[in-house]
Amino acid sequence: MYSYFLFLLILLPFIALSAWASARVNSTYAKYDGLPNSSHMTGYDTAVRLLRKNGVHGISVNRVPGRLTDHYHPAKRQVNLSQSTYGSASVAAVAVAAHEIGHVMQKQKGYIPYRLRTALVPAVNIGSRLALPLVLLGIILDLCFGFTEAAEATTAGQWLMYIGIGLYSLSTLFMLVTLPVEFNASARAKKMLVSEGILTREELDGAGKVLSAAAMTYVASMLVSLVYFLRFLLIVLPFLRRRN
C-alpha cells in the first residue's frame, strides 16, 4: 500500500504537467488563431502549396472533425486537417498545417527517427495488449512451480515475465522516439513557412509558440509513460529476484 501511494505521489506532478501542457496548447492556439496571417492563406492552402513546392504528389489534404485533430496518415497518403485548421487563415492554422507537411517530408527524406517510430507502431499495438497477460501468466507459473522440481515451468515463467517487460517498454520507447520526430517536424514547418513567404519573420514567432506548446504535450506524455513503466518494472522484478 505504501509503495502505491509513493507511486501516486511521483505520478501526480507529471499528470499536472500533462494537464498544464494540454491547457497551454489550447490557449496558445486560440490566441494565434485569432491573428490572421499576412498571406491570407488557409491551412488547406498552406498544405497544398508546401506539398507542390516540395515535389510531393499523390497525397490528399482532407478535412476531419474536431479541433487540433490534425495528423498525417502515411499508409493512406493523407494529410488530415481539423476543422479548426483546414479553412482558417490564421497564424496558428498555417503553423499546424505546415507541421503535418513536416511529417510528410520526414517520410520523403527517410528521416531515421520517423522511420523508427513507424516501424515501432505494429509492435507497440501488439505489446500494449500482450504485455500484462504475459507477465501475469509468468508470475502464476513461477508461484505454482517455483518451490517444486518443475524447473522448465519456472524458467518458462521467468521468460514470459522478461518478454512482458520488453513488450511493455515499447510504448515508452515509442514516446521517446516521438520527441525528435515532433521537434524536427516543427523545425521543418517554420523553415518552409518563411521560405515560401506564407508567414513573415514576425508572424513566425507566434507560429513557433503554437508548435512549442504542442511539443510540450509529447514531453509530458513521455514522462508519464516512463513513470508507469518504472512502476511496472518494480512490481515484476521482485518475482525475478526471488527465483534468482
Catalytic residue annotation: 100
Distance CA 163, CA 172 (A): 15
Distance CA 237, CA 165 (A): 9
User: Running DSSP on this structure, what letter comes out for residue 58?
Assistant: S
DSSP, residue by residue, 177-194 = HHHHHHHHHHHHHHHHHH
Q: Is residue 66 within 8 Å of residue 178, measured between CB atoms?
A: no
Distance CA 180, CA 218 (A): 10
Q: Is residue 67 within 8 Å of residue 82, measured between CB atoms?
A: yes
Rg (CA), the chain: 23
Residue 217: which of 20, 68, 85, 84 has the closest Cα? 20
